[in-house]
């Protein structure tokens, strides 16, 4: 049976639909024109930006393209070893290591060995056989504390606070640390439930604002310290004097990241910028630093050390002389040396670019002063500052470090793409944001596995370098195992640049 009216109905519907679309299109065009007129008027009348005033509307594209330039340079224009702070070759190695896929390369190195400052490890004629190699030996930190910390781990997670990092990122890092048996530094933002849940070894960092260990007036609280020490997994405490990104300035957490939970952990107000003092108000001298070290160690029963970026160094001589005057048991149990090239956090550009010694100078300076004062065996040294590659870790061990830590290396293992959004709430990988939609992309279970893989691969490949140099384990590396290219193109051993220091005469009270 024919239904002629069906075709008419369809035609009428299509005609009506097209009419609506046309009307909406005209409406959208009108809105667009009105918007352009408004933008034009705003641009020509404002006085803050010359480009927009002289080139209304189109001047906005300049800022848009400037923003896009960061990403186009990263993926299309920069060569593999050109980018800063980390080039594509470095990031790619971390990604492969974290995914537990092949990290070997073919057809020769793309690294230029000619520039001054290039490190070259010296292989020996008779490398260490696999069956003769041994794992890193145990090191005891804090022999004068009630609960010394004994560990084999070479490579550990540096200080990153909950607040600066998301809960999913902290969860993944803590579970990865537990799996691979390295320690995790909490950062200055306090100990969160996400740190504790995994059961990994924790180093509690005490920043200048003393988040998590302060009373209502912001002073160091013995009660809070005892409460933290009741957790067996908290192994050490670290007093943060300064950090690589901003030596001489306290931590900065933008108010957009200060949620109710973070505010409760830190003891601050929701939604307000969390800015720490630029130093500990109660540490005015080396004597004050030793007093606080001793106090925390006695209250908690845990090893205590401090973290610093080396700059002016006379105070180190004063500190070590005072230690010997008081007695070797009063010394900090470890010193973390952060290079000025370090820094995951938000920081003013003059500080992040221009202040503090890089690790290549700060680390040997610290080790040499400890040797000179006869305190090297008593005080362990932890190196930090862009140590995301096995060769850089091996260099730090050659220079005298007992341990190495990294923040950004482990961020890469979580999937960080160096989007440079850490100081905002817009991190596209969910690592440094508290936006639930962005956090959703970070699966803590999967990323914990990657954290573990990365740490394992670092230690494995540092071992490869050590065995090539003829030693049985990485901590046996010495300065003569590494050479540095000079301006004339030739290399010389590190021990010629930084000769071994002999202890000075002991100082008596």
The pLDDT of residue 248 is 65
- Domain locations along the chain: 4-76, 122-477
Q: Let me know if 107 is exposed, middle or buried by CB neighbors in 10 A (0-12, 13-18, 19+).
A: exposed
* pLDDT tens-digit series, residues 10-64: 677 777 777 888 888 888 899 989 988 998 898 888 877 766 777 788 777 766 6
Q: What Cα–Cα distance (Å) separates residue 391 from each residue in 160, 378, 416, 455, 465? A: 23, 27, 21, 14, 8
pLDDT of residue 231: 95
The model's confidence at residue 319, banded by pLDDT at 50, 70 and 90, is very high
Phi, psi of 146 (to 5 degrees): -65, -35
Asked if 413 and 94 touch (Cβ cutoff 8 Å), the reply is yes
- Could you tell me which of 203, 79, 81 has the C-alpha nearest to residue 141? 203
CA diameter of the chain: 117
What is the pLDDT confidence band of residue 65, given thresholds at 50, 70 and 90?
low
In this predicted structure, what is the pLDDT of residue 508?
39
List the alpha helices (DSSP H) in 327-442: 349-354, 359-372, 390-399, 408-414, 436-439
Q: Stretch 229-245: mean pLDDT, rounded?
A: 90
Please say if the pLDDT value at position 224 is more than 60.
Answer: yes
Which residue in the block uniquely carries the two structure tokens 């300065």?
479
- H/E run at residue 36: helix 4-45
Q: The tokens of 502 are what?
A: 């002999």
Calculate mean pLDDT across residues 147-174.
Answer: 92
Q: Which residue has the higher pLDDT, 332 or 13?
A: 332
Q: In what order do the strands lie in the sheet with 119-121?
A: 119-121, 482-485, 491-493
Average pLDDT over residues 78-100: 72
Kindly report the length of the chain.
509
pLDDT band at 66; cut points 50, 70, 90: low
- Per-residue pLDDT, averaged over 225-237, amounts to 96
pLDDT greater than 70 at residue 84: no
**440 or 329: which carries more pLDDT confidence?**
329
Residue 237, pLDDT > 50, answer yes
Q: What is the structure's pLDDT at 72?
A: 59
pTM above 0.85, yes or no: no
Report residue 303's pLDDT band, with 50, 70 and 90 as the boundaries: very high
Question: Which of 28-42, 269-283, 284-298 shows the lowest per-residue confidence on average (mean pLDDT)?
Answer: 269-283
247, 309 contact by CB (below 8 A): yes
Q: What is the CA radius of gyration of the chain?
A: 28
Of 90 and 158, which is predicted with more confidence? 158
Q: What integer best gives the mean pLDDT of the chain?
A: 86
- Give the model confidence (pLDDT) of 452-499 as tens digits: 999 999 999 999 999 999 999 999 999 999 999 999 989 999 999 998
pLDDT, residue 323, reads 97
Rounded mean pLDDT, 286-298: 97
pLDDT cut 70: percent of the chain above it: 86
The CATH number given to 122-477 is 3.20.20.70
| Residue with more model confidence, 372 or 257 | 372
């Amino acid at each position: 049976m024919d239904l002629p009216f069906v075709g008419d109905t369809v035609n009428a519907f299509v005609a009506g639909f097209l009419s609506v679309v046309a009307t909406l299109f005209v409406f959208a065009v009108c809105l667009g024109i009105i918007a352009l007129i408004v933008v034009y008027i705003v641009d020509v009348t404002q006085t803050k930006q010359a480009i927009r005033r002289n080139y209304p509307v189109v001047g906005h594209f300049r800022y848009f393209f400037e923003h896009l330039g960061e990403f186009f340079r990263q993926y299309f224009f920069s060569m593999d070893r050109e980018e800063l702070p980390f080039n594509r070759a470095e990031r790619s190695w971390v990604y492969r290591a974290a995914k537990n896929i092949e990290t070997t390369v073919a057809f020769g190195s793309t690294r230029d060995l000619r520039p001054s400052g290039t490190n070259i490890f010296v292989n020996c004629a008779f490398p260490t056989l696999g069956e003769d190699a041994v794992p890193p030996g145990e090191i005891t930190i804090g022999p004068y504390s009630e609960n010394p910390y004994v560990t084999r781990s070479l490579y550990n997670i540096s200080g990153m606070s909950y607040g600066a990092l998301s809960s999913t990122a902290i969860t993944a890092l803590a579970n990865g640390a537990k799996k691979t048996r390295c320690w995790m530094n909490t950062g200055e933002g306090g100990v969160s439930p996400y740190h504790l849940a995994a059961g990994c070894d924790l180093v509690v960092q005490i920043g200048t604002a003393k988040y998590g260990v302060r009373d209502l007036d912001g002073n160091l609280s013995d009660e809070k310290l005892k409460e933290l020490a009741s957790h067996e997994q908290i192994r050490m405490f670290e007093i943060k004097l300064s950090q690589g990104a901003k030596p001489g300035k306290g931590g900065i957490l933008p108010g957009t990241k200060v949620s109710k939970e973070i505010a409760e952990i830190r003891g601050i107000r929701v939604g307000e910028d969390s800015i720490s003092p630029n130093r500990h108000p109660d540490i005015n001298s080396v004597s004050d630093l030793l007093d606080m070290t001793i106090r925390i160690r006695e209250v908690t029963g845990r090893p205590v050390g401090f973290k610093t970026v080396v700059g002016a160094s006379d105070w180190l001589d004063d500190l070590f002389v005072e230690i010997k005057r008081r007695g070797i048991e009063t010394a900090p149990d470890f010193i973390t040396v952060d290079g000025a090239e370090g820094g995951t956090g938000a920081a003013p550009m003059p500080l992040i670019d221009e202040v503090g010694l890089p690790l290549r100078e700060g680390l040997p300076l610290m080790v040499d002063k400890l040797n000179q004062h006869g305190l090297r065996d008593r005080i362990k040294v932890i190196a930090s500052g862009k140590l995301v590659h096995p060769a850089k870790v091996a260099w730090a061990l050659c220079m005298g470090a007992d341990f190495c830590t990294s923040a950004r290396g482990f961020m890469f293992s979580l999937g960080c793409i160096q989007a440079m959004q850490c100081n905002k709430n817009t991190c596209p990988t969910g690592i440094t944001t508290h936006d639930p939609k962005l956090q959703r992309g970070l699966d803590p279970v999967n990323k914990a596995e990657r954290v573990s893989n990365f740490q394992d691969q670092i230690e494995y490949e540092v071992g490869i370098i050590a065995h090539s140099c003829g030693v049985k384990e990485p901590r046996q590396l010495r300065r003569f195992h590494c050479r540095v290219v000079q301006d004339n193109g030739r290399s010389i051993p590190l021990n010629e640049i930084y000769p071994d220091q002999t202890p000075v005469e002991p100082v008596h009270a």
